[in-house]
Amino acid sequence: MKRVLALSLCAAIVLTGCGSAGSAGESRSGKEEKKLVLSTYGLSEDISEEEVYKPFEDQFNCKIVTETGSTNERYTKLSANTESTIDVIELSQSMTAKGIEEGLFEPLDLSKIENSQYLITTAKTMADAGQGVAYTINSIGIMYDPEAVGFEIKSFDDLWKAELKGSIAIPVITTTFGPAMVYMASDYKGVDVTSDNGKAAFEALEELKPNLVKTYAKSSDLINMFTSGEIKAAIVGDFGVPTIKEANPDLKYVTPDVTYANFNTISITKNCKDKELAYAYINYRLSKELQGKTSKALNEAPTNNQVEIAEENAVNMTYGAAAENAKVLDYSFVNPILSDWIDQWNRIINS
């Protein structure tokens, strides 16, 4: 009789699924464990698990389940599935703007995100305009081989110099910083890109073409190009600098006085099952304590203006004055005409 009772109890435990701490259900404390499905980039997953997710799980008695992939892959998956289980999604600024236009995200109430008051000026302006809450910022600069170039590069305009003929690589138009290339080329012509929809910019890119030898999709592709001597200089996002310099310490990275920023943002999806927990996660992601940790562990430049980073650790980051002064692309302008820009880019750069 005792054996029958024991078996019955075991069966009940299996059926209710309450026996395993760490699964969605009942935690060790006996309270119901919540679940937050997070769509994210999947970079340095072990570090993110230890430094970002676990402390939040412990504090809020929940389990973070991650779905990873590139920005485009994850956005496409979300937009194509009306029954998506994703609660919170981390995307590039451009994709966030697109998702807002398509009604994929919950309009955010910043009063529920206490740490949003500490956002740097550019990020706060974007959040106040309903264009997403930024948890990190990066920007473009110029990586070059001083010995091979033979002169000091100080600005983007230097890339048009005849001495750099057949020796430059730039990101393709469809990458994170592709549209920034159009803005930058328009600056070279002294024209506001929004005044002519990029006409002057593409004239400038045509003038730059003799100096171009490659376009690239991933910053890691630049390592072999520099190592082989195929290129002398490249426009690159600062997030790619540490890896490239590790492979070739002799390269120099410069951030011009006028550069362009990109934010990675966090949004709550329309299908979010637990908005209160989602808001808690965003607030946590913006906290001084966490951003101080991720600036070191994940090389993420903070958007919380209370975070202080030692000068030697901020060399390759969009931080301080560089973050405050960086120009921000207006994706409400860019997205509607991006397909036209891609066509022009292909005709000029890839022909």
Measure the CA dihedral 162/164/170/173, to 10°. 20
Of 30 and 186, the structure prediction assigns the larger pLDDT to 186
* % of the chain at pLDDT higher than 70: 91
**Tens digit of pLDDT for each residue in 230-263?**
999 999 998 888 889 989 999 999 988 889 999 9
Tens-place pLDDT, residues 330-343: 888 999 999 999 99
134-185 pLDDT per residue, tens: 999 999 999 999 999 999 999 999 999 999 999 999 999 988 899 999 999 9
Report the CATH number of the 139-261+330-348 domain: 3.40.190.10
What pLDDT score does 153 carry? Answer: 97
pLDDT attached to residue 242: 84
CA–CA gap between residue 341 and residue 330 (Å, rounded):
15
Does this model's pTM top 0.75? My answer is yes
**Average pLDDT of the segment spanning 9-29:** 41
Q: What percent of the chain has pLDDT over 90?
A: 71
Residues of the chain with CATH 3.40.190.10: 15-137+262-326, 139-261+330-348
Q: Given this model, what pLDDT does residue 176 score? A: 85
Q: Which residue in 97, 221, 136 sits closest to 171, CA to CA?
A: 221
Task: Count CB atoms within 10 A of the CB of residue 149.
Answer: 18
**To the nearest whole number, what is the mean pLDDT of the chain?**
89
pLDDT at 146: 97
Cα(120)–Cα(116) distance, rounded to whole angstroms?
A: 9
Q: How confident is the model over 184-200, as pLDDT tens digits?
A: 999 999 999 999 999 99
Of 12, 132, 93, 37, which Cα lies nearest the Cα of 262? 93
Q: List the structure tokens of 65.
A: 């389940």
Class of domain 15-137+262-326: alpha beta
Whole-number Å distance between alpha carbons of 345 and 339: 10
Per-residue pLDDT at 57 exceeds 90: yes
Q: What is the pLDDT of residue 244?
A: 92
Q: Is the pLDDT confidence value at 3 over 50?
A: no
